[in-house]
Structure 1
């Protein structure tokens, strides 16, 4: 423990720098996936025949080992952060698409019928009724994707992306690198836990049931 404290005190700025870099790679990958996945989830909720194809494609990606997928991506994009962000992007597609699909499909048909009867257009129905009711389910998918993405980024050090994984690998190559490994592993675990807690809190706040109760 003393060795760990000494290492952290001497390399605090470096650890923070890698922590920040690590989080940004995960966040960007999930952000870009959300931009694509939410509209796709809405689309397959509208046209059910597409859902099996899209969800199967997402499931196939999930079955590929992350390191193998990252290696294939590296051939096309080279070493660095772009490869890692792209990998997080692809592995984030399924949870976000799936939750968007489930959230939109889960909106009560009587509510949508009433909205149509009141003269709402399909766009108004989507933005004013369906998305507000489904948003907490969608956020659950983004929450899952972010936590998984943080784990994926830890492997990114093998393609030259840095992050906290670089500290862990440095520790495994040292003669007595336990303290160095912990300096990378503990912040990674804390990042995932905090991200899960924060996203969970946002998810609960956006839940229409909780909104109604608060009102």
Structure 2
């Protein structure tokens, strides 16, 4: 046990430079995929909340995509986009869509109808109602979906190493190939810390973005 702990400690000491590089690669892949997911899923979720029939079809398609194994999607990207960061980002983007889309739709749907009616009676247009009333009230639910997708993206980005995209997954795969447990444990610990850190930062963003009357003090 002491030997293993010493080996793990040596891993962090001797690979400091690589850890910084791989952590940056991991963050780059994950955050870019998440941003693309937010840019697509939030406006789409808002639009779908106004068109219920189309919403069922779109939600069904994204649900099917979510059930596909992440390795399978990564492998499917190779014939079209080759290997590297681009196919990994697109694959992770697909996986981030459903939680954000679903939560945006639910958040917009959960806004009190009486409040919507009050906004309309005050002369608000549909766009003003969405921008000034419904979206702010749905923010906590939307942010919950974004936080969930962020954790998913960071976790799944580990597999991006499989197609040469880099990231902390390189340590884990190298550890498996060379039978070096300290690389596997070290990589897994770093991914976990990264996921917890990003979730913490997004929780602060959620608090700032949420209207004061809806904030829950923690």
Q: TM-score, normalised by structure 1?
A: 0.94
Aligned mate of 1:71, from 71, 75, 86: 75
Q: Give, in whole Å, the separation in 2 of the partners of 1:210 and 1:120.
A: 21
Determine which of 127, 130, 137 is the counterpart of 2:131. 127
**CA RMSD, aligned part only?**
1.6
Shift of 1:213: 7.7
1:157-176 to 2 correspondences below 5 Å: 157-175=161-179
For residues 160-196 of structure 1, what are the alpha-carbon distances to aligned partners after superposition, in whole Å with 9 as ceiling and x for unaligned?
Answer: 0010001111111224x11121221110011112222
Q: 1:116 aligns with which of 97, 107, 120?
A: 120
Return closer, same or farther for 1:183/1:47 CA change in 2, 3 Å cut-off: same
Q: CA deviation at 1:205?
A: 4.4
Residues 69-148 of structure 1 aligned to structure 2 (within 5 Å) = 69-148=73-152
Q: Hey, what's the Cα distance between the residues in 2 that align with 1:140 and 1:212?
A: 13
Superposition TM-score, scaled by structure 2 size? 0.92
Match of 2:25 in 1: 21
The answer to whether the 8 Å contact 1:204/1:210 transfers is no
User: Aligned equivalents of 1:16 and 1:4: distance in 2?
Assistant: 17
| Cα deviation, residue 198, structure 1 | 2.6
Name the residue aligned to 1:197.
Answer: 200
Q: Secondary structure at the match of 1:162?
A: coil
**What is the deviation of 1:210?**
5.0
Structure 2 unaligned blocks of 5 or more: none
Tell me the equivalent position of 2:190.
187
Q: How many residues align?
A: 213
User: Is the Cα contact below 8 Å between 1:15 and 1:183 reproduced in 2?
Assistant: no
For 1:210 and 1:173, locate their aligned partners in 2 and report how far apart those are by CA, in whole Å: 53
In structure 2, C-alpha distance between the alignment counterparts of 1:166 and 1:212, rounded to whole Å? 40
Aligned counterparts of 2:215 and 2:201: Cα–Cα separation in 1:
21
Alignment of 1:200-211 (within 5 A): 200-208=203-211, 210-211=213-214
1: distance between equivalents of 2:216 and 2:6?
49
Deviations 1:48-106 (A, max 9, x none): 11111011011100111110111001211110000110011101111111111001111
Moved over 4 A (4+): 209-214
